[in-house]
Amino acid sequence: MRVLITGGAGFLGSHLAEKFLADGHKVIVLDNLITSTVDNIAHLFGNENFTFIKYNVVNYIYVKDDVDIILHFACPASPLDYQKHPIHTMKVDSLGTLNSLGLAKAKKSRFVFASTSEIYGSPQIHPQDESYWGYVNPIGVRSVYDEAKRFSEAMSMAYFREYGIDIRILRIFNTYGPRMRANDGRVVSSFITKALKNEEITVFGDGTQTRSFCYVDDMTEGIYKISLKDGIEGEVFNIGNPEEISIINLARLIVELTGSSSKIKFLPLPEDDPPKRKPKIDKIKATINWKPKISLKKGLIKTIEYFENILKK
């Protein structure tokens, strides 16, 4: 297959590029490197099946060759990043989605959209399944991400309904692992880097808010299987690990696993920070026989090793 990945130099995109190449597919990555780095894909440059184009998909996308699958993964994804680049975030998940869908129509490609658990906003039901419509503040600080992703879901469905494009939507829940940026502001990368430096760990609010964290290898496997699966056009799937933990317990676990002397410091809870988040994953389980295999503890140990090496450099 010929696969095009927007945002393919990012955290998830680069793992996907690697996975498709390892299985003998051709991969084109488009990325403007706003919140990603070529370091994530440098090891792929020698592969004759790999092409990297530094490009902002907010602009019209031209690709000469045929493309079988487009994965639209370009977008600043951490709350810190998307609040730093609010307009670009809205553009990449509106104009960028439109251009990527236009390319899918022109090339008759399958389209896989990287949506998010954020489309559920501050969920009023728990855990969240795909039938839930969400509870989103349309003008809050997180809205640039939430609403752009919701728009992209609607746009993907419009291309499915009007042109019969083979789209599928993945609502990706919190994911962590190697190639997260140390300074991306996300909770796992922040806590690990601070613990390794024996600096204060900043817990926002009282730390009772929960998240459910999926290790990147499990996530990559699930996205890969959904991308290759026939007969699921127009479908939406939650993807993530339902193992839920409070942020304060995550901080304690990371302190324990790193053997750190860090103290925990409490800071105010950011605006619209969702109090709970946990996916129901019955639908994806039933569709591709996928479920996460790596426990939080095991995944954190691998991620700590990665950051130890990064910090040594």
Count Cβ atoms within 10 A of the Cβ of residue 27 and give its class: 0-12 exposed, 13-18 middle, 19 or more buried: buried
**Euclidean distance between the first and final Cα of the chain, in Å?**
37
82: left (phi > 0), else alpha (psi -120 to 50), else beta?
A: alpha
Neighbouring CB atoms inside 10 A of 158's CB total 14
**φ, ψ of residue 51 in degrees (nearest 5):** -130, 135
Beta bridge partners of 246: 210
Task: Give 132 or 204: the residue with its C-beta nearer to ligand UDP.
Answer: 204
Q: Which of residues 51-80 bind ligand UDP (CB under 6 A)?
A: 78-79
Task: Determine, following the binding rule CB under 6 A, whether residue 199 of this chain makes contact with ligand UDP.
Answer: no
Q: Which stretch binds ligand UDP (CB under 6 A): 37-45, 52-60, 202-210, 238-246?
A: 202-210
Q: What is the largest CA-CA distance in the chain?
A: 58
Q: What is the dihedral of CA 263, 268, 272, 275, to 10 degrees?
A: 50
Does 216 participate in binding ligand UDP (rule CB under 6 A)?
A: no
Give strand ranges (E) for 55-116. Answer: 69-72, 110-116
Q: Is 132 a catalytic residue?
A: no
> CA quadruple 147, 151, 154, 156: dihedral positive or negative?
negative
Cα(14)–Cα(2) distance, integer angstroms? 16
Binding of ligand UDP at residue 259 (CB under 6 A)?
no
Q: Which of 89, 209, 212, 258 binds ligand UDP (CB under 6 A)?
A: 209
Site string for ligand UDP, 137-176 (x = CB under 6 A): -------------------------------------x--
Taking CB under 6 A as the criterion, the residue among 4, 61, 187, 216 binding ligand UDP is 187
Q: Which stretch binds ligand UDP (CB under 6 A): 25-33, 129-137, 159-167, 181-189?
A: 181-189
- Smallest gap from residue 78 Cβ to ligand UDP (A): 6
Nearer to ligand UDP, 187 or 254 (CB): 187
Tell whether residue 190 is a contact of ligand UDP (CB under 6 A): yes
186 binds ligand UDP (CB under 6 A): yes
Selecting among 55, 82, 120, 145, the annotated active-site residue is 145
Which residues of this protein are in contact with ligand UDP, per CB under 6 A? 78-79, 174, 185-187, 190, 202-204, 209, 211, 247, 270, 273
